[in-house]
Each structure stands twice: as structure tokens, then as C-alpha cells.
Amino acid sequence: MREPNAIDFWRGFALVTIFVNHIPGNVFERYTFSQYGISDAAELFVFLAGWSIGLATRGRDGTPEPPLRTLLRMVSRTVEVYRAQVVIMALALAMIAGTALALDNPLLLEWHNAGQFFADPIQTMVGVVLLTHQLGFFNILPLYVVLLAIAPLMVLASRISRALVLALSFGLYATSLVFELNLPSWPGEGDWFFDPLCWQLLLVLGFTLGEWNRATPRLRAWSRRLTPLGVAIVALGIVLAVYEIRPDPLTVPEPRLIFTFDKTYLTPARLIHFCGVLLSFQAVYGLIVPWIGPVAPFLAGLGRNSLAVFSMGSLLSLAAQFVRFQTGGGVIVDVSVVGSGLFALGFTAWFVEWRSRKPSPKPLS
Amino acid sequence: MVRRVAVPQAEPQAALVALRALTLLIAGFWPFLGAHAARAQSAPVVVSPPQASAAASVEAVDPSLSPECRVPGSKLYTLARLKAVKAALREHRPIQVLSIGSSSAGLGASTPYPVRLETALERSLPDVEFNVEARGLPGEIASGAGERLRAMVAETEPDLVVLQVGTNDALARVELDAFGDALEETVRWVKSHDIDIVLIDPLFTRSLADDEYYTQMVRKVQTVAANEAVPLVRRYEAMRFLSTSGKAEAHTLGQQFRLNDLGFRCMAEHVTRAITLSLLKAEPASTGTAGQAPVSEAEPSAAKPPVTPSPLPN
């Protein structure tokens, strides 16, 4: 178990933010940073995933591990994330159906994109395992599966040339923006909520900046110098978010995705805003750690076990939505569901580490 | 299409039969006072739904709907003009429809709702081609859903948006004013780009019949539709009507799920009816000559000769 560090801390922070934001309408939502900017916790999560891949594919002494091991490591991680997505989708659908039956309330079956499954289970079941049917709020892991699947290519190619990888990644991003390329949904119409063709750029940026940061102190020096620019961008983001100022997608010039604030396609405005967030908060962990006591190890613990915590968080936020709906919500309910949810996330992280520490029992024979 | 019954039946409660026959006669003749008069045959009596309460059957149910979906017009929709669709019709180009919402079809239905809607629209207006694109709203509520809707509209550039609204907001217990404001803003935005919009309010289910918040949310959708003068398909009222009528058809999951299933199946027809009648609604400036609105209980004054629905007015 590694000591708390900035990467795990911010990952944990992103996980908590995602958990709270996935209980729409709750009172804590307005205290998350997502409400005060153009980008949100999803960007942070994917960027840090890229950064972590750089750490995971090197030995303790910093030498790159053999290519085959990198490949197998990434394939294994892809399978793990895929398995998590299929399991939480099955559990979520069962939770929705079970709650609808228990409350005798078919309205719940129409919960964010679930109607498709209950109306047409034959096709949609295939869509679930193909990742082309995604419930609302359950659409991050499919993106993550695709990103991890292409990650070995990114890692190995960047050992030849980081600039080439960045150029290819940016090229794919720009092409997808201009031509609105995305992976299709099926059997429902439309596209993926997170377009992997665009979001891959953030993973590559996280990975490449992490590698660059390791190789040379110049990155750190430059990013320190650019901090005021980052703060200005964040300030602008706050103004735009609070006053709900955003471009009208029907009046912007073509290609419109260059100009709009669109989460699906990680449009440039979101990317620039996220870079501003990075520049502004790069040194914050070191500054606040002495003051926040157990919060830092708590969040870092969540970040170390991000897949398990994210999966549990998705299911807990769904359960919290039902509790809020059935009780009518309100501050007391919100404090209870968010509070017990955070406790459960902390327990999940602790449990995963406890289980991996414990020597596995002898197989039954 | 029109079911008939032999009115005098040997029943002990003759008075009740007479009363029912009277209401049925009124119900049955109501549409025939208008355009269907030409087609009126010898004493047809519309009896659908068969066990409609006396109060409900005073108003005619809509005979253009499938028997199990028949609901009186006043419970089914409020109408308003659809300028963009009319313009597209005048230019003789296919109508692009963007259907946004969470539900797709009845449980285990063979045909998804968007396909059903397209089929129903093309059956209703045979010479017009409709292309229905469907999208869900994955995980956004209130103004966030408005944002997503803008992106979808920009992507598909439709003539008409059919928006099922309120479900996810109700599930999240979004504050009513915040919900209403966001919806109003969305509707205004769509209209400001010369795109028509039809709203569909959320479903009726008995477990929420006494839920003050939920009924107020349904009313909020009505208020926005009325203030912004856009057509509204009153799915809540239609399903509530259907819940009091019709055969007690069994459903493995119970009564509420049967109703839900039926509500889904009928939604495409109900939306189509509201769109068709809204299209036939005369422009205030129009002289109302050829191609004027055929019969509709929503427009009892339309006592004009029947026409095929196409070509359309103007």
C-alpha cells in the first residue's frame, strides 16, 4: 500500500465529486466544483488515469518494463474494467426493476435510458455486453475500457516518440470534432455519452505530461510560471458557469464542435478550462495536506482503489436517488444518503486493501 | 374501427341500460356531427372503451385511435400551431422529427416507439415522409438536460422536436420552479430557431396519484405548454383515463404495469393525433377554404367537408 500522494488524492477527490454529482438534485451538488466551471470531475479522472498508466508501466527504479508485460498488464486491466461495467450494469438494472416492483411504480423503469432495456431486453442485453447500451451515469467505464484497450499502443509508441503519439492523438481528436465522429449506441439511436475518439486525447495528455515530468524539470518550471494564466481561466470559467453563459450550438459557425461546450466530444473550451484547472491546482495538494488531517489519507485511499470505489459509488448513487425520490428528498435525507455513501466508499477502499493483504485461503478440494 | 353493439339487451336493469345507451348514442354521434356525417351509417354506436364511466363517455372518444387507446380529445392533448412543419410540407420535403425521452416502447414490445411514431405519422399523413430520430437523455436534469437537448437539436437539425419531459426530473425531485424555468427556456430556444416542439408530460401511475409534487410537476408542464403555445400530449391524463376504463386485462406484473404497457403502446398514436390536429389547425389569417380541418372533437366547429389529410392547408 503506497503512501498518500497527490495523484491518489485528486483521484479520490474526483471519485467523491462524481458520486455526489450522480445523485442529481441533492443539496451538496451545488458545492462541487463541477458547478463552477466548464469542465468537471470526468476530465480529472481520465487525465489522472493517463498519468497513472505511466507510473504503472515502469519499475520501482523508473526503467520501463518489458513491452510484453506492459501489453499483458493493460489487457488485464481492460478485462477488469469491462467486468466491472457488466457487473454494475446488471446490478443497476436489477435495482431499478426491483424498486419499480417493490413500489409498484413503473415510472422508475424510465430512469435514465433504462426504458430501452425493459422494452427490448433481447437486443439491449447484447448492447449491454457490447457496451453500446449505457445507462445514464453508467457511461464512464465504457469509455475507460476503450481507452485502456488502446493504452498499450500509446505506451509502447511513446517509447519511440512522445511527439508522434501526441500528434496522432491530437489528429484523431481534431478529426473527430470536425466530422462529429463517435461510437454508435445500439440498439438505441445516438452515440456514446463519452466519445472515446475525443477523450483519448486527455488520457494521452495525462500519460505524456507524466512522462515528461519524470524526464525533465522544465515542465514543472513552466507550469509554475503559467499558474496565473490557469487562475484566470478558472475565474473565467466560474463567471461563465454561474451566469450560464455558453454558445448557442445552432448559431456558432461550422464546424460547430470547435466552439460549443460539449461534454460528449470534450470540446476545446472544456479542454482549455481543464488545463486551467490543472495549472491552478498543481501545487494545492502540498499546501493543504498539513491542514486537512484525515481527509488526505481518506481521499488517497479512495484513489488507490479507484475501480472498486467508482463501481460501488455508481450503485450507491443509484440507491441514493431512489431513497431521495421515495422520501421526497430534503436536507436531512441528503445529508444521510451522501454521508452514508461516503462512509461506504471509504469502507470499500479499506475492504479491497484488506482483502489483498490477507493471504488467500487454501482452495477447497 | 368502429365497434357496434346491439343496443337493446335483455337486462334486468332496464333504466341503466337506457341511460348507457343514451350516453353511447351521444358519444357515437358526436364525431358524425362533423365531417363523418357523410359517412354516417345506420345507427352506429361507438362503444369504446366499453366500460367507460358515465361521466367520461359524455365526451366522445377519438375513433381514429386503436380501440384500446381511445381517449376523449380533451384529455389527450392541447393543440397549437406547428409552423416549421407546415413550412416543410409546403416545400414538399421530408419532415425531420427528433424524439427525445426516456421511454421507447411497451415492455417487450416488438416495435420501438420511434418506429411506431414514424409509422403512425405516415399513416396519418400518407403523402408525407417522416424521418424520426430518437435520443435518450442520459443522466441530466433541469438546465443540464436543456444543454444536452441543444446539442442534440444542433446535431440532427429537425423540423419538429417531440419531447417527453419530467420523468428524470421527477425522479430527482427537482424543485418545481427550477424545472419549469429550465423547460420554458428550452422551449423558447427551440422556437427561436424556427423549430416546432411538442411536449409530452410524464406517465400516470396509481402509486403517484396522490403525490402532490408529482401532480404539480405534470401541471407545470401544462402551464409551460400553454404559456409558450406549443402542443402538449397529455400522457398523464390519457393514462389516467385508460386506467378507469378498458378490460381488466391481466399483466404478470400487476395492474400498474399493464397500464404502463398500454400507455407506451398508445403514446405513438396519441402523439400522432396531436401533431396531425395541430397541423390542421388553421392559421388565424387563413381563410379556411380547401383542406380545412376535418373533424375533431377538439374543434367542434369544424363542420367542413371531409378531405384527405393531404394536401395540407396553406
Contact A119/B108, CB-based, under 8 Å?
Answer: yes
CATH code given to domain B73-280: 3.40.50.1110
Q: How far is residue B199's CA from residue B191's CA, in Å, rounded to a whole number? A: 13
Nearest chain A alpha carbon to B194: A250
Residue A364 banded pLDDT, cuts 50, 70, 90: low
Give the residue extent of every domain in chain B: 14-69, 73-280
Candidate from B134, B151, B173 with C-beta closest to A249: B151
**CA A47, CA A54: separation in Å to the nearest integer?**
11
Q: Is B167 on the interface with A (CB under 8 A)?
A: yes
**Cα(B303)–Cα(B296) distance, integer angstroms:** 9
Give A34's contacts in chain B (Cβ within 8 Å): none
pLDDT at B60: 67
What is the predicted pLDDT for the residue at B178? 92
Give the closest residue to B55 by CA, choosing from B245, B210, B234, B218.
B245
Q: How far is A161 from chain B (nearest CA, A)?
A: 36
Q: Are B102 and A134 in contact (CB < 8 Å)?
A: no
What is d(CA B98, CA B101) in angstroms, rounded to the nearest whole number?
10
Separation in Å, CA of A309 to nearest CA in chain B: 20
* Bridge pairing between strands B130-135 and B196-200: unpaired
Question: Would you state the torsion angle of the CA atoms of residues A289, A295, A297, A299, taken in this order, to the nearest 10 degrees?
Answer: -110
CA distance A335 to B45: 59
Confidence of residue A133 (pLDDT cuts 50, 70, 90): very high
- From A160-169, A261-270, A296-305, B1-10, the region with the lowest mean pLDDT: B1-10
SS3 A150: helix
Residues 225-254 of B with CB under 8 A from A: 253-254
Which is higher by pLDDT, B72 or A287? A287
All three cell numbers of A274, joined, read 481543464
Q: Is the pTM of this model over 0.95?
A: no
Model confidence at A71, in pLDDT bands (50, 70, 90)? Answer: very high
Span of A185-189, A230-234, A336-340, B196-200 with lowest mean pLDDT: A185-189
- Write out the three cell numbers for B46: 361507438
Contacts of B205 (CB under 8 A, 6+ apart): A104, A105, A106, A107, B239, B256, B259, B260
Check B143 against A119: CB less than 8 A apart.
no
CA distance B16 to chain A (A): 35
Lookup result for grid cell 527504479: A61
The per-residue pLDDT for B294 is: 39
Cβ of A188 within 8 Å of Cβ of B104? The answer is yes
Q: Crossing angle, helix A306-327 and helix A140-160, to 10 degrees?
A: 160
Q: Grid coordinates representing B143?
A: 438546465
- pLDDT at residue A112, as a whole number: 86
Q: HSE on the CB side for A128, CA within 13 Å? A: 24
Contacts of B237 (CB under 8 A, 6+ apart): B71, B75, B76, B204
CA distance B170 to chain A (A): 8
Read off the amino acid at residue B167. Answer: T
Are the CB atoms for A327 and A34 separated by under 8 Å? no
Q: What is the pLDDT of residue A320?
A: 97
B residues 30..69 contacting A (CB < 8 A)? none
Which residue in B has a C-alpha nearest to residue A324's C-alpha?
B172
Q: Is the pLDDT assigned to residue A192 strictly greater than 60?
A: yes
Give the distance from CA A234 to its chain's centroid.
20
Q: What is the dihedral of CA A199, A205, A207, A212, to 10 degrees?
A: 180
Q: In the prediction, which pLDDT does B250 show?
A: 56
Percent of chain A with pLDDT over 70: 98
Query: In this model, does residue A292 exceed pLDDT 90?
Result: yes
With beta carbons under 8 A apart, name residues in chain A contacting B154.
249-250, 256, 260
Write out residues in chain B with pLDDT < 50, as ranges: 1-19, 21-57, 105-106, 285-314
Q: Residue A258: its pLDDT value, please?
A: 95
> Hey, is the C-beta of B103 within 8 angstroms of any chain A C-beta?
yes
Q: pLDDT tens digits for A135-179?
A: 999 999 999 999 999 999 999 999 999 999 999 999 999 999 999
pLDDT of residue B80: 87
Q: Are A135 and B138 in contact (CB under 8 A)?
A: yes
Cell digits of residue A302: 479512495
A100: closest CA of chain B, how far (Å) = 9
% pLDDT > 90, chain A = 84
Rounded to an integer, what is the distance from CA B106 to the centroid of its chain?
A: 16
State the complex-level ipTM: 0.89
Handedness of CA B38, B41, B47, B48 (dihedral sign): negative
Cell representation of residue A258: 470547435
A317 Cβ contact partners less than 8 Å away, ≥ 6 residues apart: A19, A22, A23, A137, A341
Under a CB-based contact definition with an 8 Å cutoff, are residues A296 and A10 in contact? Answer: no
**Dihedral sign, Cα of residue A306, residue A312, residue A315, residue A316:** negative
The count of residues in chain A is: 365
Quick check: A111 and B257 CB within 8 A? no
Residue range A196-231, pLDDT digits in tens: 999 999 999 999 999 999 988 999 999 999 999 999
pLDDT over 50 at A134, yes or no: yes
Residues B27, B31: Cα–Cα separation, whole Å: 8
Classify A360 as helix, strand or coil.
coil
- Any A CB within 8 A of B143 CB: yes
Query: What would the grid cell of residue A208 be?
Result: 505524456
What size, in residues, is chain B? Answer: 314
Of B173, B59, B292, B114, the closest CA to residue A331 belongs to: B173
**DSSP per position, chain B:** ------S----S-HHHHHHHHHHHHHHHHTGGGTGGGGG--SS-----STT--TTGGGSPB-TTS-GGG--BHHHHEE----HHHHHHHHTT-PEEEEEESS--SSTT-SS-HHHHHHHHHHHHSTT--EEEEEE---S--HHHHHHHHHHHHHHH--SEEEEE-SHHHHHTT--HHHHHHHHHHHHHHHHHTT-EEEEEPPPP-GGGTT-HHHHHHHHHHHHHHHHTT--EE-HHHHHHHHHHSS-----TT-HHHHHHHHHHHHHHHHHHHHHHHHHHSPPTTS---TT-----TT-TT--PPP--S-SPP-
pLDDT at residue A206, as a whole number: 97
Start-to-end CA distance of chain A, whole Å, equals: 32
- Residue B266: its pLDDT value, please? 84
- B227 Cβ contact partners less than 8 Å away, ≥ 6 residues apart: B184
Average pLDDT over chain B, rounded to an integer: 73
Distances, alpha carbon B160 to alpha carbons A319, B134, B199, in Å? 36, 12, 11
- Contact of B106 with chain A, judged by CB distance below 8 Å, is answered with yes
| CA distance to A111, A284, A286, A295, per residue, from A291 (Å) | 41, 11, 10, 9
* pLDDT (0 to 100) of residue A221: 93
Going by their DSSP bridges, the two strands B130-135 and B160-164 should be labelled as: unpaired
Strand partners of residue B131: B96
Q: Which helix (H) or strand (E) holds A287?
A: helix A284-288
B253 vs A101: CB contact, 8 Å cut-off? yes
pLDDT beyond 60 at A15: yes
For residue B255 the three cell numbers come to 395492474
Chain B residue with Cα closest to A252 = B154
Predicted local confidence at residue B280, as pLDDT: 84
Residue A6 CA to residue A191 CA, distance in Å, equals 34
Backbone phi, psi, residue A2, to 5° = -85, 160
